[in-house]
Structure formats: C-alpha cells, structure tokens
Amino acid sequence: MNSVTAVAPVITAANDALRRDFPSKPFAIRHKLVGHPLLTLPRIAALAAELPRDLIEYNSGKVAISQDPDAIPSVDLDPVEVVKSIETAGAWMVLKRIENSPEYRKLLEDTLLSVARARGFNSLLDAGFEQVEGFLFVSSPNSTTPFHLDSEDNFFVHIHGEKFFTILDNTDRSIVDDDEIERSMTKHRNLKYDESFAPRGKEFHLFEGDGCYVPYQWPHWVRTAGFYSISMAITWKTREVRRLNDLHFFNSMLRGIGLPQQPPGKRPVRDALKLAFYRGVTATIKPLRSSMAMRRVLRRVALGKRANYYLKGREL
C-alpha cells in the first residue's frame, strides 16, 4: 500500500472500532461537523427550496416505533416552512440525495476521505466508499423515526439536539426475516417492532458531535428528546452492497408477477444470471430517470402502487 497522506480526522471512533468492528458491527463515533455552515437551519431551508419534491419526505413526528405505513399522520406545511418552524411544527423530515448539490457532495466526500485515510487508504475508491449519498434529517422535539432498515452503510452524524438511536442485531434474521427485508427495501421501509426485540438492541444516546456507524440492513429506530434536531446520514454502497440490492429489487419484481425467489446467497449461479439480466434492463431505462415524472412512473411499474406513498395527494 502507498503511504497515506495525513489529514485531520472528521470522524473518530474509540477502541480502534474503525478497524476492528467496521463494517460488520455498529459502534459509536465522534465527529467535527457541528457548526458547519451547510448544516444550519437557514441553509437547510434553502436546500429544501432547491430540491425536487420527490427528494423530500416529511410527516408528523408523532408516530409509533411500529408504525403502519398507511396511517402516518401528515403535516400541512410546505417543506421550507417545516424547516423554518421545526421547533414547533411537530414534524419529521428527510432531505434525500443531498450529494446532488456540489457543496454538500464535497462535505460528504471530505468526511469519508478522512475515514478512508484513518483506515490506511488514499482514496474513497480504494476504501470501498462508492456511490456516496447524503440524507439530512430535521425533526421536531419528541419525534420518532419508526423501526426500519436501510440498504446502505451509514455514518450517522448528529449535529443539534439530543437523540436516541437504537440498532438491532439481526444477523440471524430472527427479528426481520428475508421476506420482510425485501419488502422493506421495495415497498415501504417500516418494519413491525415488538418489545421482545429490545434486549438485542444497542442504544446510542447522541448529543451534538456524536454519531454511530449503522451497518448495511441493520434495523433501527430513532427518537428525539426535548429539542429540535438536525442529523445527517453519510452513506455509501460497496460493490457487494449494490449486488445484493439489485438482487433484492429483481426478486421483488419477480415476486410481483407470482414468482417468489430465494434471497440473495442461497443460489449463487441463479443470482449471477438474474443480476446480469436485471442490470441489462436497468441500464436501458436509466436515461429516463432524469425526469421526476418518469421516476414516478418507473417506481410505480417496478415496485407497485404504493411506491410513491410519500408523494400522495401531490400533483407533480
């Protein structure tokens, strides 16, 4: 390996967790992003005004850990108003794919580069930090993010307020099984939560400057305490994660036409054939995704009628 250029670390972890536990187990981190100009409410409100509407999702923060996706209460404000009044709006909001803004992309990449270097790599690519995406969360006091999972690895950095972030160990699939994982990825991310899961949870109590590493598809739920909160998910997808995700999506489409499939890994040869076919088809339709209206149609065709749940009632 070439010598690694030293940079001030933006993210640090105790007990050598960045080498010992990464990327297979969750662990606490500290970061230096508090006070960054891109992570203040006025700048986030400006971002909300710029983003396409289908990259903003928000609803009431008064939801259950085990929340029925069809019964999520809405908030009757526009996205910019939600950010500006977040102390009192009773809302939960996520701004998605913020890496499409060059300033935010630089912030995400610089942060991950410091982690890459701490792990002995000279570039994001060498460290496996591919397809970097960012998600900004703004929530009112006493809000809950229901139990769900995400199909990427994530350094979750907390910027303002107080938050409880609970991650469940699902390595043996006894909490969320393979079918539920597929459904969470392709239909609605919310999962059923039962109090009996609690002993397998690890709670990270986050204040400004804290955070945690969330491994691929480890289910979690989050609640804020008595202050409004700002957090950011810095995510990436390794080559292996992209392979697994493509297989899950294709399996879901096949299930939709009455052909349920084994989860990825059970039949490697068949996985390889499915992957080649799926990637051939998706490469053909990729140019269509530059239009928001076409993205909506494609989600509907690929994932079913609930795929656009967070746009309901909106004329786009």
| Smallest gap from residue 222 Cβ to Fe ion (A) | 7
Q: How far apart are CA 256 and CA 291, in angstroms?
A: 25
> With CB under 5 A as the contact rule, which of the stretches 54-62, 143-151, 261-269, 279-287 interacts with Fe ion?
143-151
Q: List, in order, residues 6 or more apart from 214 with CB less than 8 Å away.
A: 26, 150, 153, 154, 155, 156, 167, 220, 233
**Binding of Fe ion by 150 (CB under 5 A):** yes
**Residue with Cβ nearer Fe ion (210 or 271):** 210
Angle at which helix 178-186 crosses helix 239-256, to 10 degrees, equals 90
With CA atoms as reference, report the closest residue to 57 among 167, 121, 145. Answer: 145
Which of 293, 155, 285, 168 lies closest to 233 in space, CA to CA?
A: 155
Give whichever of 94 and 113 is closer to Fe ion, judged by the CB atom.
Answer: 94
Could you tell me which stretch among 144-152, 204-212, 246-254, 263-271 binds Fe ion (CB under 5 A)? 144-152
Give me the least distance between CB of 189 and Fe ion, in Å please. Answer: 8
Among the residue ranges 36-44, 98-106, 113-121, 150-158, the one whose residues contact Fe ion (CB under 5 A): 150-158
The CA-CA-CA angle for residues 63, 197, 157, to 5°, reads 60
Q: Least distance to Fe ion from the beta carbon of 233, Å? A: 7
Choice between 150 and 210, CB closer to Fe ion = 150
Q: Under a CB-based contact definition with an 8 Å cutoff, are residues 96 and 55 in contact?
A: yes
**Taking the complex as a whole, how short is the minimal distance between the CB of residue 148 and Fe ion, in angstroms?**
6
Cα-atom radius of gyration of the chain, to the nearest Å?
A: 19
CA nearest neighbour of 153 among 197, 201, 212 = 212
CB of 8 to Fe ion, least distance (A): 28
Q: Please, which residue, 45 or 222, has the CB nearer to Fe ion?
A: 222
Nearer Cβ to Fe ion (190/261): 190
List interacting residues with Fe ion (CB under 5 A). Answer: 150
